[in-house]
Amino acid sequence: MSRVSVVVIGGSAGSIPVVTELLQALPRHFQFSVIIVLHRLRNVISSLDTILGNKVQVITIREPNDKEEIREQYVYLAPQNYHLLIEADKTFSLDYSETVHHSRPSIDVTFESVAQVYASQAVAVLLSGANQDGADGLQAIINQGGMVIVQDPATAEYPAMPKAALERNREAVVLTPPEIAAFLRTLTQ
């Protein structure tokens, strides 16, 4: 497997405790970028970046601005009410087009974009959720040679999303949250 440049994490209902656990597992100097896409309410004031940030004080969590450069050792959170896309020059582009699976940000949209740009240097992780978002995006990651991890549905508060992803993608690795955390730590060694 080639060097991992980006870990992209998608989650919906029931995923925030797992995201927190994964971020807490990250070592202080991780040599990749983390991009998180969570389904969020639109048009309400949200301080999810602060909430996550308070739980994981050693790393900075940013909601990126449009055309911002993607840097190593940063954790990026998709801003509410935008799709988050990646340009070939590894900058972010925001997009305010139609919802996908009733979601904006949509996990599929970001996963597909990450697959295009990072190909085999991407690891995608799909967590708990109640809809079908992420299944197509994981397939794009697999097609481009990236690695795909799905949270074990038995450990998910809402198993529908991981189940849908596993039906689509037999190649996906099924792991419990502590196993995903352990895997992320191996990426830095």
Partner 1 sequence: MVVGKNMTVQNSISAEELEEIIILIQRQYGYDFGDYARASLHRRVIRCMQKAGCLTAYELKYQLTNDHRFFAWFIESLTVNVTEMFRDPSFYKELRQNVLPKLASYPAIKIWHAGCSTGEEVFSMAILLHEMGLLSRTRLYATDLNPANLDRARQGIVPLQYMKDYTANYIQSGGTNDFSAYYTARYENAIIHKEYRKNIVFAVHNLATDHVFNEFQLVCCRNVLIYFNRNLQNRAINLFSNSLTPLGYLALGMKESLLFTDVRHQFEVVNPAVRIYRSKR
The reply to whether 184 sits near partner 1 by the rule CB under 8 A is no
The reply to whether 88 sits near partner 1 by the rule CB under 8 A is yes
With CA atoms as reference, report the closest residue to 7 among 27, 31, 34: 34
User: Which one of residues 4, 19, 38, 64 is an interface residue with partner 1 (CB under 8 A)?
Assistant: 64
The reply to whether 189 sits near partner 1 by the rule CB under 8 A is no
What's the 3-state SS for 85-103? EECCCCEEEEECCCCECCE
Least separation in angstroms between CB 177 and partner 1: 26
What span, in angstroms and rounded, lies between the C-alpha atoms of 70 and 67? Answer: 9
Between 25 and 163, CB nearer to partner 1: 163
Reported residue count of the chain is 189
The reply to whether 50 sits near partner 1 by the rule CB under 8 A is no
The reply to whether 43 sits near partner 1 by the rule CB under 8 A is yes
Scanning the structure block, which residue is given the tokens 């970028």? 33
Scanning 18-26, 50-58, 83-91, 121-129 for contacts with partner 1 by CB under 8 A, the matching segment is 83-91
> Taking the C-alpha atoms of 120, 123, 128 and 133 in order, what is their torsion angle to the nearest 10 degrees?
-30
Half-sphere exposure of 151 (CA within 13 A, CB side): 30
Establish whether 12 is a catalytic residue: yes
The reply to whether 1 sits near partner 1 by the rule CB under 8 A is no
Establish whether 66 is a catalytic residue: no
User: Which one of residues 63, 152, 157, 179 is an interface residue with partner 1 (CB under 8 A)?
Assistant: 63
User: Which one of residues 94, 160, 173, 174 is an interface residue with partner 1 (CB under 8 A)?
Assistant: 94
Least separation in angstroms between CB 87 and partner 1: 5
How would you class 153 by CB atoms within 10 Å of its CB: exposed for 0-12, middle for 13-18, buried for 19 or more?
A: middle
Least separation in angstroms between CB 186 and partner 1: 28
**Choice among 5, 15, 33, 39 that is catalytic:** 39
How would you class 160 by CB atoms within 10 Å of its CB: exposed for 0-12, middle for 13-18, buried for 19 or more?
A: middle
Active centre residues (catalytic): 12, 39, 133
